[in-house]
Amino acid sequence: MSQRSEELMTSRRRFLKYLAASPLLAYWGFNSGRASLAQTPDQGPLDQEIMDAFAQDINVIPSPEKALNVFDFEPAARGVLPPAHYGYLITGVDNDATMRANREDFRKYQLRARRLVDVREIDTSTDLLGEKWNTPIVIAPIASQQAFHYDGEIAVANAARSREQLQILSTLSTESVEDVSRARGRPVWYQLYPTDTWNVTEALVKRAEAAGCPVVVLTVDLLAGSNRESLERFKLMDDRICSDCHDPDIPEWTTRPMFKGMDMSEVRFSGAGLTWEFVDRLKELTTMKVVIKGIVTHEDARLCLAHGVDGIVVSSHGGRAVASSRSTIACLPEVVEAVGGRIPVLIDSGFRRGTDIFKALALGADAICIGRPYLWGLAAFGQPGVEKVLDILRAELRLVMRQMGTTSIAKISRNSIKQEG
């Protein structure tokens, strides 16, 4: 066994010791070293498969090259992350039903393969808001990436550069937009979290614009807050002293690089009072194209058009925002129909396979954003892990396009899939 593999296994066993000492064992129904949730569907926040995985001392891949699919990176990430950081990565809201739906609902669509098509040449390129990309796969914005690997967003940007991949950077990144864009080799898209203070929004947007970002992605699905039970339970397993890294008297999010030099003492991370007027002000403030992330209904899609929005991301924040129990793949058709091709529609949440990506493209999405998979790769192996995750998804997409007889993204249509029932 390699030194890296031994380190992963040691970390994993240490994590299992957290579980063994946890008062939550009785709640989760651990029995003889294995997890078994009570039968009440809404009692436990973590599904059976996840808890079973914790109770087994399984082998993990020793290097990115050994991965057969993106799921292989999850145990490797789990083995090296402290409980609170892993809990942040894995959590949904309430009983995690929305997060599970994001995966399960892909099964509701089957592929319709066409035969005797020359598929020697496959074109996965796509156009998004005036730029051409060699793949419809986008690196979604995720906060606090140095919590998963010390190179954080820089490692991801380096991977995005090596694979010529579109990257969206979170407001709550642990690296500045200037440094990430420099590592990426071209400006990234900038994701915007609104606060209750317009001056802060204005400063963030102007800074992103000055850094050359062509697009600002306004996230609107967390304005009312969220109830992340799984995260809180994993925090209880973590015996580290948090004050070693975080000042308990200062909201941690206010210390991020994008807020450097601002007076954040009276600023609140809240957007409960935001309305479409905010979108109008944002459009007037910047020359960047404005994309709204978190749209899941045809009503709001039409309002995006009415307010001059340049693009939409159908998103449930990876099942971390609202306990709707409704997947993004289920929301996609009504948003696509409402937009009618006038602006691009992207989608995230739950994408793990090339077939998942293909199904979303068949339903009318222009691009697909991935989140947790590339963080699994980042946590386990840094930049090479992210690169391998991207390579796997791109290879799987090309394979399914060949299998379906669709030689370009433009040739993937609603006729390429069939919904069950």
Q: What is the pLDDT of residues 179-224, one digit of tens each?
A: 999 999 999 999 999 888 899 999 999 999 999 999 999 999 877 7
Among residues 85, 149, 307, 317, the one annotated as catalytic is 317
418 forms beta bridges with 110
Q: Which of 27, 144, 168 is nearest to 82 (CA)?
A: 144
- Whole-model pTM: value is 0.85
- Mean pLDDT along residues 378-406: 98
More confidently predicted of 4 and 382: 382
Q: Per-residue DSSP letters for 44-90?
A: -SS-HHHHHHHTS-----SSGGG-SSGGGHHHHHHHHS-HHHHHHHH
> Which of the four pLDDT bands, split at 50, 70 and 90, describes residue 111?
very high
pLDDT tens digits for 335-371?
999 999 999 999 999 999 999 999 999 999 999 999 9
Most confident of the ranges 3-12, 38-47, 242-251, 394-403: 394-403
Give me the pLDDT at residue 95, please: 82
The average pLDDT across 120-129 equals 96
Q: Residue 369: what pLDDT?
A: 97
Q: Which residue has the higher pLDDT, 79 or 17?
A: 79
- Cα(77)–Cα(50) distance, integer angstroms: 13
Q: Is 298 a catalytic residue?
A: no
Evaluate if residue 391 carries a pLDDT over 90: yes
Q: Is the pLDDT of residue 53 over 60?
A: no
| Residue 25: band (very low, low, confident or very high) from pLDDT cuts 50, 70, 90 | very low
Question: d(Cα 337, Cα 376) in Å, to the nearest integer?
Answer: 34
Integer Cα distance of 385 and 63 in angstroms: 8
pLDDT given at position 149? 93
- 212 or 48, greater pLDDT: 212
Residue with tokens 């999405």: 365
| Cα 120 → chain centroid | 32
Give all domains of the chain, ordered by start, each with its CATH number.
3-96 (no CATH), 126-226+245-419 (3.20.20.70)
Residues ≥6 apart with Cβ < 8 Å to 4: 62, 63
Task: Give all strands (DSSP E) within 333-390, no chain letters.
Answer: 345-347, 367-370
* Residue 38 predicted with pLDDT over 60: no
> Could you give the 3-state DSSP secondary structure of residue 325?
coil
Among all chains, which residue has been given the structure tokens 């894995």?
A: 90
Per-residue pLDDT band at 418 (split at 50, 70, 90): very high
Written as six digits, the tokens of 351 are 């994408």
Mean pLDDT in residue range 93-103: 87
- Rounded-to-integer distance, Cα 191 and Cα 171, Å: 6
Alpha-carbon 122 to chain mean position: 27
Q: Are 146 and 85 in contact (CB under 8 A)?
A: no
Give the whole-angstrom CA distance, residue 72 versus residue 61. 7
The Cα angle at residue 251 between residues 246 and 255, in degrees rounded to 5: 70
User: Which region among 4-8, 253-257, 405-409 has the lowest average model confidence (pLDDT)?
Assistant: 4-8
Cβ neighbours, 10 Å, residue 59: 12
Examine the pLDDT at 19 and tell me if it is beyond 50. no
For every residue of 171-206, which 3-state class applies, written as one string? CCCCCCHHHHHHHHCCCCEEEECCCCCHHHHHHHHH
Q: Which two tokens stand for residue 157?
A: 């940007």
- What is the model's pLDDT at position 325? 86
Q: What is the mean pLDDT of residues 22-41?
A: 36
Coil, strand or helix: which one is 119?
Answer: coil
Q: Which tens digit of pLDDT belongs to each residue from 279-337?
A: 999 999 999 999 999 999 999 999 999 999 999 999 998 878 888 889 999 999 999 99
Average pLDDT over residues 44-64: 62
When the pLDDT of each residue in the chain is averaged and rounded to a whole number, the result is 85
From the list 77, 78, 73, the residue with the least C-alpha distance to 52 is: 78
pLDDT: which is higher, 225 or 9: 225
DSSP-H helix ranges across 224-363: 229-236, 276-285, 298-306, 328-339, 354-362
Q: How far apart are CA 263 and CA 208, in angstroms?
A: 18
Q: Which of 109, 254, 261, 260 is nearest to 196 (CA)?
A: 254
Amino acid at 60: V
Give the residue-averaged pLDDT of 124-130: 95
CA distance 350 to 359: 12
Q: How many residues does the chain have?
A: 421
